[in-house]
């Protein structure tokens, strides 16, 4: 018969295995919960599945409505023939509603208003029925982005597709600060270039290979690190232009990169997004088979 010491050792090994399995299950459950929340944001009234248009403003009056002659064309089944006019003068945008059209601006019934663009962080929202419009600025251009809560893409959406959760793709990276923070030119799908602040770079090992990535910070109030990256799966298993990954800020010189949370950019869901593209140094030569895949739909 085995000795008490051997018996105790077997019990400790079994207990350790059970603990590891429990930790693994807890991690998988946390990732699945995150993915469900991510998909819920995509499906929301203000999610990317509702974006149905983007019209760049020209100087002077820009008519909006479902009339085919409108400068800002709205979906015929969702909007009146004439909704109103966006008047653009330099960086000043004013909206004037058409007669007898029940337009609301930031939830209030108004006939006219001067509109803030998205550069303010809180763009003014012009709504009529299921349609919402707001001003965006990209480079030197101003445009009106259109959402429709009854958009076909939203109504027919079947869900996202992901690689299986794999904890090996959750890695701890060494964070090396730039002193001072570095400006990185980020090109978007329109060809516009924006200088974005990068507080440092990360170095990590994945499947035996060492990599380096430069994150950026999206805005003055953001604390998260934003990684715009592509890898050898891009264009095959994952979205061609690359993917996004957000992380918590550095702690004790380290950053946790969980590629199980790598997500497709908004451009995977609408032609009217202005997604940033990965900088050249963020093109990884290896395959990162974790996170969201593409075609982005469940069969």
Chain segment 21-48, per-residue pLDDT in tens: 556 899 999 999 999 999 999 999 999 9
Q: Is the preceding peptide bond at 57 cis, omega within 30 degrees of 0? A: no
Residue 1 has pLDDT above 70, yes or no: no
pLDDT of residue 276: 97
CA distance 72 to 14: 66
Model confidence, pTM: 0.87
- Overall number of domains in the chain: 3
Among 155, 172, 207, identify where a domain stops.
155
> Are 102 and 167 found together in one domain?
no
Dihedral, CA of residue 39, residue 235, residue 165 and residue 273, to nearest 10: -20
194-249 residue pLDDT tens: 999 999 999 999 999 999 999 999 977 788 999 999 999 999 999 999 999 999 99
Instruction: Assign residue 87 the CATH number of its domain.
Output: 2.60.200.20
Coil, strand or helix: which one is 89? strand
Please give the pLDDT value at position 222: 85
Domain co-membership, 192 together with 214 = yes
- When pLDDT is cut at 50, 70 and 90, the band that residue 13 belongs to is very low
Q: Facing residues of 203 across strands?
A: 174, 212
- Any bridge partners for residue 60, and if so which? 88
Instruction: Clarify whether residues 227 and 190 are in a common domain.
Output: yes
Integer Cα distance of 37 and 30 in angstroms: 11
Residue 220's pLDDT is 74
Give the pLDDT confidence of 241-278 residue by residue, as tens digits: 999 999 999 999 999 999 999 999 999 999 999 999 99
- Alpha carbon distance 35, 65 (integer Å): 36
Q: How far apart are CA 156 and CA 131, in angstroms?
A: 18
- State the Cα–Cα distance between residues 195 and 210, nearest whole angstrom: 27
* 164 and 139 housed in the same domain: no
- 287: in domain: no
Confidence at residue 90, expressed as pLDDT on a 0 to 100 scale: 86
Q: Label residues 254-281 b or e (16+ Cβ within 10 Å = b).
A: ebebbbbbbbbbbbbbbebbbbbbbbee
For 255, the token pair is 């950053």
Does residue 227 share a domain with residue 144?
A: no
């Amino acid at each position: 018969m085995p000795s008490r010491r051997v018996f105790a050792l077997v019990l400790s090994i079994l207990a350790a295995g059970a603990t590891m399995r429990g930790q693994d299950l807890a991690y998988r459950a946390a990732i699945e919960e995150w993915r469900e929340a991510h998909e819920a944001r995509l499906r929301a009234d203000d999610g990317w599945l509702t974006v149905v248009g983007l019209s760049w403003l020209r100087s002077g009056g820009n008519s909006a409505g479902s009339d085919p002659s409108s400068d800002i064309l709205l979906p015929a089944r969702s909007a009146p023939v004439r909704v109103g006019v966006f008047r653009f003068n330099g960086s000043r945008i004013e909206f004037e509603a058409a007669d007898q059209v029940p337009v609301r601006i930031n939830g209030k019934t108004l006939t006219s208003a001067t509109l803030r663009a998205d550069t303010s962080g809180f763009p003014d929202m012009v709504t009529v029925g299921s349609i919402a419009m707001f001003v965006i600025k990209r480079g030197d251009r101003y445009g009106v982005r259109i959402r429709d809560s009854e958009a076909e893409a939203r109504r027919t959406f079947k869900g996202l597709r992901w690689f299986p959760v794999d904890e090996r793709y959750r890695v701890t990276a060494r964070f090396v600060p730039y002193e001072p923070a570095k400006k990185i030119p980020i090109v978007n799908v329109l060809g516009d270039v924006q200088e974005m602040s990068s507080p440092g770079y990360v170095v990590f090992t994945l499947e035996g290979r060492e990599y380096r990535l430069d994150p950026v910070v999206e805005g003055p109030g953001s604390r998260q690190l934003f990684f715009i990256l592509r890898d050898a799966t891009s264009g095959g298993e994952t979205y061609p232009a690359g993917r996004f990954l957000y992380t918590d800020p550095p702690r004790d010189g380290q950053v946790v990169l969980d590629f199980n949370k790598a997500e497709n950019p908004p451009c995977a869901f609408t032609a009217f997004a202005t997604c940033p593209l990965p900088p050249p140094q963020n093109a990884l030569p290896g395959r990162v088979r974790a996170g969201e895949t593409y075609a982005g739909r469940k069969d």
